[in-house]
């Protein structure tokens, strides 16, 4: 499988891209992870959205980029990090995050990035330069840790 990455502001999204991102987010965060939460949190409209589509037009990877002051008062953020079940194990999560970090810097400038990582992914995010920067917490019943990349 080969994925092609793009990044667009909310106002530039096609209806297909918006729909695909909502389906993938719900498929993984709500159904697979069994979390009932309001995914449409009002931040999508001010975000940039990164997509990883295969050659058949199927979305396999997605993130949402937020400027400083939206998710965290002093930091930009990458959130809603998700890969489809079909694409896991192929290194696409790493490629997605590398692309997302690059796009965040290109869009908002070189700066620190804060994320709320699922705790079991600490080593993965650590390999990308993120370090834990606070106490762990539960979000929707899933252990998370705050992480920062300077």
Q: Residue 140 has what pLDDT?
A: 82
- Residue 131: what are its φ and ψ, rounded to 5°? -130, 145
Averaged in consecutive runs of 10 residues, what is the pLDDT profile of the chain (150 residues)? Answer: 95 98 93 81 96 96 97 96 92 96 98 96 97 93 94
The answer to whether position 26 is within a domain reads: yes
- pLDDT at 56 (0 to 100): 95
Task: Name the pairing type of β-strands 113-118 and 76-83.
Answer: parallel
> Residue 69 sits in which domain range?
4-110
d(CA 29, CA 18): 16
CATH number of the domain that 64 lies in?
3.40.630.30
């Amino acid at each position: 499988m080969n994925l092609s990455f793009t990044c667009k502001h909310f106002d530039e999204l096609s209806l297909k891209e918006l729909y695909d991102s909502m389906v993938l987010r719900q498929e993984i965060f709500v159904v697979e992870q069994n979390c009932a939460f309001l995914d449409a949190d009002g931040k999508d409209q001010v975000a940039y959205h990164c997509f990883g589509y295969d050659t058949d037009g199927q979305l396999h990877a997605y993130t949402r980029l937020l400027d400083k002051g939206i998710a965290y008062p002093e930091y930009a953020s990458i959130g809603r990090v998700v890969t489809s079940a079909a694409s896991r194990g192929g290194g696409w999560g790493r490629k997605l995050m590398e692309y997302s970090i690059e796009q965040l810097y290109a869009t908002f400038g070189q700066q620190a990035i804060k994320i709320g990582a699922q705790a079991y992914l600490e080593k993965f995010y650590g390999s990308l330069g993120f370090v834990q920067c606070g106490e762990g917490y539960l979000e929707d019943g899933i252990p998370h840790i705050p992480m920062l990349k300077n």
